[in-house]
């Protein structure tokens, strides 16, 4: 069983859920914004995936569930449960391992190139990836690299794009799970943020146009990422998988 942790209704598992369904890997979604309770770690949980959200990791008084999730992630680390944190989820796992989470010098919103360093190029999470590839971003904060952890990738505007801790704990700053509908939904929900950054970051139309242009390589890239992660988690055999979103 894969457990997803949602922090806001509109930021769901996207194409990860599609991939799991295509490969008959069971999953469940815990939506903290709707009052769902965090799960207890059980042997039936094979992996935990923490998704994004507009809140900051240091807003625990405003969002008490962030404190509870931090305690759960400390257990995840201790038990070495295969974990993937996306955007806010990556910042939460960084905080749980003792790293700082701060404002990034600039916001990244839209499509950007990231670069794998030597560690990233040799890590199984990025098996069969190019050294440089495009991803979708929507973040204002950035995570540090904890003691004992490693940075696997960087971008021009944000030095820490991927962190690895231990054997199977990963945090990615970008949104591998994004769909076109999610981009539209986020752009509408966070319209004030986009308006405040007009001329600095991509607007709704540019993000959608860039998605349409790069959809085919992006979906193949997402597929490869899922194959790599879930193979490492012991849930998939590399030569036996399917993904209906592939083009």
Spot the catalytic one: 11, 69, 108, 177. 177
- In angstroms, the CA 77 to CA 61 distance is 24
Spot the catalytic one: 69, 108, 175, 223. 175
Query: 25, 235 in Cβ contact below 8 A?
Result: yes
Spot the catalytic one: 11, 87, 139, 223. 87
**Has 240 been annotated as catalytic?**
no
Starting at the edge strand that comes first in sequence, how are the strands of the sheet with 169-172 ordered?
27-31, 2-6, 47-50, 83-86, 169-172, 162-165, 149-155, 101-116, 132-143
**Has 87 been annotated as catalytic?**
yes
**Has 42 been annotated as catalytic?**
no
- In angstroms, the CA 130 to CA 172 distance is 16
What amino acid positions are annotated as catalytic residues? Answer: 87, 175, 177
């Amino acid at each position: 069983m894969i457990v997803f942790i949602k922090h806001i209704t509109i930021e769901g598992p996207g194409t990860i859920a599609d991939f799991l369904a295509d490969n008959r890997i069971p999953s469940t979604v815990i939506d903290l914004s709707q009052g769902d309770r965090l799960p207890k770690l059980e042997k039936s949980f094979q992996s935990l995936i923490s998704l994004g959200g507009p809140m900051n990791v240091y807003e625990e008084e405003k969002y008490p569930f962030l404190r509870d999730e931090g305690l759960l992630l400390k257990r995840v680390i201790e038990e070495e449960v295969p974990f993937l944190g996306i955007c806010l989820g990556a910042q939460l796992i960084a905080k749980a391992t003792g790293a700082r989470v701060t404002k990034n010098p600039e916001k990244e919103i839209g499509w950007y190139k990231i670069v794998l360093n030597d560690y990233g190029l040799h890590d199984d999470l990025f098996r069969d990836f190019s050294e440089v590839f495009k991803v979708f971003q929507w973040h204002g904060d950035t995570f540090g690299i904890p003691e004992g952890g490693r940075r696997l990738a960087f971008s021009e505007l944000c030095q820490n794009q991927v962190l690895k801790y231990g054997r199977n704990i990963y945090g990615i700053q970008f949104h591998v799970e994004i769909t076109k509908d999610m981009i539209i939904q986020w752009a509408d929900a966070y319209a004030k943020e986009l308006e405040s950054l007009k001329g600095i970051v991509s607007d709704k139309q540019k993000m959608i146009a860039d998605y349409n242009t790069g959809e085919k390589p992006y979906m193949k890239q997402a597929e490869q990422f899922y194959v790599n992660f879930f193979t490492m988690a012991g849930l998939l055999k590399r030569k036996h998988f399917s993904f209906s979103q592939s083009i």
